Chains A and B, each alone.
Chain A
């Protein structure tokens, strides 16, 4: 049923921020606590949001599109998580939102304007993207790495400005890597490296941040650190976040919205309490599970066994 439900909601037009407000009011728990408070601070109408329309995404090597979706929304000022099993097209969708993959059909809009109209640096000042795997020369220090985040703000011959210095300081502090500032990235652990890369993306000072599985290979401590940084950025700076997460339980706790994907299509989307259901886990993730919707920090999933 959820699939049809999502379909109707997608088809109804109108302002999406209004929509998400309606969604929120549907579930009583959402109206309480910090989430409500944050909405009052951020004024979503001012920050841009990404929005994909009639998208068909594919790669040169594939004949059929990998992802086909009528409509996908990343609401402004909120954290949206893309979830789904391996190969469901989450990363592909994220890449197209990040202007890294040109859609075969359809369009992605940023703040109502087609992203294909943006110059590459101009776009990089609006939308930051952290890929799943990143490599830097081992002798690069964390600070040097983070300074690269200022690339879209600098002209070809421009030197570092005070604004750059400040942005780098803020990014390093927010990512909590101040003590690693002068360390070569080659000497860092996986989790520290990821935080350094997040700092680079933060130094871009974008209003929208896209993250592709930022927690996948990290230990639990660093998973939580990364999520905390993203949360803080969203709450304090009102940054719109879209993040691909491997772990649906983590996504359910963490995100304001979920986009659940199955076989290259959006199966359902909305607030976690609405999206995360036993039916979804069975249909999308092939898992028989029970869901405790009343848990205080978002729906809790108890997986039982794989679907035969």
Chain B
């Protein structure tokens, strides 16, 4: 039937149109407002610190033509000294540029933290949005299927027991989260899964892992280790650098593309399992694949920032109230609102208690909790999707 119409040129054109299909005006103000928050928050972040400058100076440093005019420098920032340097050499780009003091501070110290916040916010938001559709539960978050507890346990094990592996902490945290998710899936599987069984298995695995995690805390004999563990398990952007940008960026792009491509599947999943099945969806396969995309996004966020709470839970809500529940729009909205919330929260985390920096997860919790309460009061039915 429809396969017959699969001509190459026609399908290519159709694919391009497919990306734009289903957009309406409600998304535009969301994108504009979120971008404004990111830009403003980012400027505040790069202006203030031990070396303070005015917002105009900071702005000029961000847009410094010495950086933007030298692709070799950008390559080194985004691809790392090794690969970026090789690319620059290949194209004959110079990387030996005399930069202004402000530019150096902004570009090497402060800007990467803003970029990491953007990536983490986007990842957590799309991850939460996907999990809310997969479990058909509005209260689902990126951490619903045991991810946070698995990652937390891996973090504690690395810091306290296998301290030789600390260099691999980000990867191990992401792996821990993924492992916990797989365990949850196996537990929930009984000739197939169901949203309820997945959530319950997530709670069970979460409880067990949480206990183990708390148990390991007991064996930490160094206050520094404990603080480091707390920063990781509550989520923090302190000390993030270009290395973290480079670590998260490729996975973020991959997860974003997959999430956008899967948005129609998510919409069909929202019609319920039976309908999805009678429309010919292989529900189990799609559910697992989409969960895997969500885990990928969550793991990318955990690897660079630890377990930042509430962002993945509330951002999809905020976007849903603004643009409706069509996932083709919801995912796009999340890609903007997530970074806005994360950049905003990190301003608070870094500057509110200056000179002490608090983990950004504490701020998102303080903002997210009351917002969630407000949602609960305003909406009659919160829960089922």
Nearest-neighbor residue (CB-CB) of B283 within chain A: A120
B369 interface residue per 8 A CB criterion: no
Interface residues of B in 170-210 (CB under 8 A from A): 190-191
A163 interface residue per 8 A CB criterion: yes
Per-position 1/0 for B8-33, Cβ under 8 A of A: 00110011111001100000000000
Known: A120-B281, A131-B278, A159-B14. 16 other contacts (CB 8 A): A60-B190, A100-B274, A124-B279, A124-B280, A125-B280, A134-B272, A137-B324, A138-B325, A151-B264, A151-B279, A152-B279, A156-B265, A157-B18, A159-B21, A160-B17, A161-B5
A: number of interface residues (CB 8 Å): 38
**Contact at B14–A158, with CB atoms within 8 Å?**
yes
**Contact at A120–B280, with CB atoms within 8 Å?**
yes
A148 interface residue per 8 A CB criterion: yes
Residues of A within 8 Å of B15, CB to CB, are 157-159
Residues of B within 8 Å of A134, CB to CB, are 271-272, 275
Per-position 1/0 for B130-156, Cβ under 8 A of A: 000000000000000000000000000
B57 interface residue per 8 A CB criterion: no
**Contact at A157–B272, with CB atoms within 8 Å?**
no
Contact of B280 among A122, A139, A144, A145 (CB under 8 A): A122
**Contact at A121–B326, with CB atoms within 8 Å?**
no
Residues of A within 8 Å of B279, CB to CB, are 124, 148-149, 151-152, 204
The 5 closest A-B CB pairs, nearest first, are A124-B280, A159-B18, A152-B280, A159-B14, A121-B280
**Contact at A120–B282, with CB atoms within 8 Å?**
yes
B89 interface residue per 8 A CB criterion: no
Nearest-neighbor residue (CB-CB) of B275 within chain A: A134
Tell me the minimal C-beta distance from A212 to chain B in angstroms.
10
Residues of B within 8 Å of A114, CB to CB, are none
Per-position 1/0 for A128-162, Cβ under 8 A of B: 11110011111110001100110111111111110
Nearest-neighbor residue (CB-CB) of A135 within chain B: B272
B-to-A contact residues, CB < 8 Å: 1-2, 5-6, 10-11, 14-18, 21-22, 190-191, 261, 264-265, 267-268, 270-272, 274-275, 277-282, 324-326, 385
**Contact at B191–A151, with CB atoms within 8 Å?**
no
A154-B267 Cα distance, complex, nearest whole Å: 14
**Given A134-B275, A157-B18, A160-B21: A151 touches B281 (CB 8 Å cut-off):** yes
**Contact at A151–B280, with CB atoms within 8 Å?**
yes
**Given A139-B324, A140-B325: A129 touches B278 (CB 8 Å cut-off):** yes
Tell me the minimal C-beta distance from A53 to chain B in angstroms.
22
Tell me the minimal C-beta distance from A308 to chain B in angstroms.
39
Tell me the minimal C-beta distance from B280 to chain A in angstroms.
3
**Contact at B268–A137, with CB atoms within 8 Å?**
no
Nearest-neighbor residue (CB-CB) of A122 within chain B: B280
**Contact at B278–A137, with CB atoms within 8 Å?**
no
A170-B385 Cα distance, complex, nearest whole Å: 29
Tell me the minimal C-beta distance from A111 to chain B in angstroms.
15
Nearest-neighbor residue (CB-CB) of A151 within chain B: B279
Contact of A153 among B1, B10, B272, B325 (CB under 8 A): B1
A97-B21 Cα distance, complex, nearest whole Å: 35
A157-B2 Cα distance, complex, nearest whole Å: 13
A132-B336 Cα distance, complex, nearest whole Å: 39
A98 interface residue per 8 A CB criterion: yes
**Contact at B2–A139, with CB atoms within 8 Å?**
no
Interface residues of A in 82-140 (CB under 8 A from B): 98, 100, 119-125, 128-131, 134-140
Residues of B within 8 Å of A121, CB to CB, are 280-281
A151-B277 Cα distance, complex, nearest whole Å: 11
Nearest-neighbor residue (CB-CB) of B15 within chain A: A157
Residues of B within 8 Å of A157, CB to CB, are 11, 15, 18, 261
A201-B1 Cα distance, complex, nearest whole Å: 17
Residues of B within 8 Å of A124, CB to CB, are 278-280
Tell me the minimal C-beta distance from B163 to chain A in angstroms.
45
